[in-house]
Amino acid sequence: MHQEYKTEFLDSITKVAPESWNKLVGSDYPFIQHEFLFALEESGCTTAHSGWKPYHLAIKNKSDKLIAVMPLYLKNNSMGEYVFDWSWADAYYQHGIEYYPKFVTSAPFTPSAGPRICLDSKENRDELINSIVNSIKKEAELLNCSSWHVLFPDKDLSDSLSTLSLVQRQGCQYQWFNKNYTGFDNFLESFSSRKRKNLKKERKKIHESNIQFEWLEGKEVSAEQWQCFYKFYQNTYLVRGRSAYLTLPFFLEIARLMPEQILLVLAKKDDAYIAGALSFKDENTLYGRYWGCDEEWQFLHFETCYYQGIEYCIKHNLLKFDSGAQGEHKIQRGFEPVLTYSNHWISHPQFSAAIDQFIKEETNHLSKYQQLASKHLPFKKN
């Protein structure tokens, strides 16, 4: 017997109490916590103007108990997603069809895999997911949305969605895994001799440049340090002639709301900060997210973003360092290529068939790439 569900679409995360939302998330994965999504809205990063209009989904049972939530956005561009569909949008345009608006379920501006549909564990999971899929398709029809994209879900959810007409697409990222290392030198012992020497040379260069590093937990970061970091962060976009996705008020808000999940690494030379890298963390994982600098020094990026994070993971017994999107240069530094997932429902039948075929061909290529990339890891061959 099927349950009766009441589905609501919400124009703000504030329509759900933080404790109710987070209880359904069911873990300390940071990027769909109520606090993170609220900070994005409150600081103006996720608005209709930025192309991320909140349209979150909430489901209640017949007793009016909240049993499922899902972050959802009505998008009028493809910025800040990290699963690229520009060619799909262009194909629509070439055929005189509108690709936007579209629905996107994701942690905005965050290419990190994790929970996306959050359910009460006592409920029927498959039935609820099926109900959500049907509700999204109906709402998409009402709003003339071309599609729905679920970005970086965990594999279990991705596999479930792929049986419900949301084709599974794969991506590749590079992640570091803690194999019970006792220190950074112990980690390097797993490298082949030549690769170990190369990495030591990079770290030595930074040391000889008299650059020091500070690790700051969220509560320890002063307003002045946030200002410094934000300037560095903006620089990474300015050099490409673009504006940063996130605002200084966003960073100040997450520092206030979830300080225990923030690590800021600042690089200092001659008593002045010259670079910074901001990471989030949960019980098991460090998530490298944003970086920038004021001065260019050889190997400064690798040290600030990767080696300091690895040292932090080892010291605090974290199991994994998720370093974010792209960056083949991470492979030779011990970050392993891992598959990520997204799922896509396309309303237009002909485009849906064409995109399905594209994804099949892409998946075959990606599998070969992952195998090839793994051969370039720096570890000793058994």
Which pLDDT score, from 0 to 100, does residue 219 have?
94
pTM for this model (two decimals): 0.96
Give residue 366's pLDDT band: very low, low, confident or very high (50, 70, 90): very high
Stretch 340-352: mean pLDDT: 97
Which pLDDT score, from 0 to 100, does residue 239 have?
80
Does 179-318 match 6-171+340-374 at the fold level?
yes
Indicate the SS3 state at residue 382. Answer: coil
pLDDT digits (tens, 9 = 90+) for 352-363: 999 999 999 999
pLDDT digits (tens, 9 = 90+) for 210-253: 999 999 999 999 999 999 999 999 998 988 888 899 999 999 99
Encoding tokens for residue 2? 């099927």
Please determine, for residue 4, whether its predicted confidence score (pLDDT) is greater than 90. Answer: no
Which pLDDT score, from 0 to 100, does residue 1 have?
42
What CATH superfamily classification does 179-318 receive? Gcn5-related N-acetyltransferase (GNAT) (3.40.630.30)
Mean per-residue pLDDT of the chain: 96
Question: Which numeric CATH code is attached to 6-171+340-374?
Answer: 3.40.630.30
Residue found under tokens 């390097």:
188
Give residue 376's pLDDT band: very low, low, confident or very high (50, 70, 90): very high
From 268, 196, 264, 279, select the one nearest 226 (Cα to Cα): 264
From 325, 315, 333, select the one nearest 376 (Cα to Cα): 333
Please determine, for residue 262, whether its predicted confidence score (pLDDT) is greater than 90. Answer: yes
> What are the domain boundaries of the chain?
6-171+340-374, 179-318
Stretch 135-141: mean pLDDT: 97
Residue found under tokens 């007409």:
165
From 59, 48, 46, 43, select the one nearest 5 (Cα to Cα): 59
Give residue 2's pLDDT band: very low, low, confident or very high (50, 70, 90): low
Which pLDDT score, from 0 to 100, does residue 39 have?
98
pLDDT digits (tens, 9 = 90+) for 144-161: 999 999 999 999 999 999
Q: What percent of the chain has pLDDT over 70?
A: 99
Please determine, for residue 48, whether its predicted confidence score (pLDDT) is greater than 90. Answer: yes
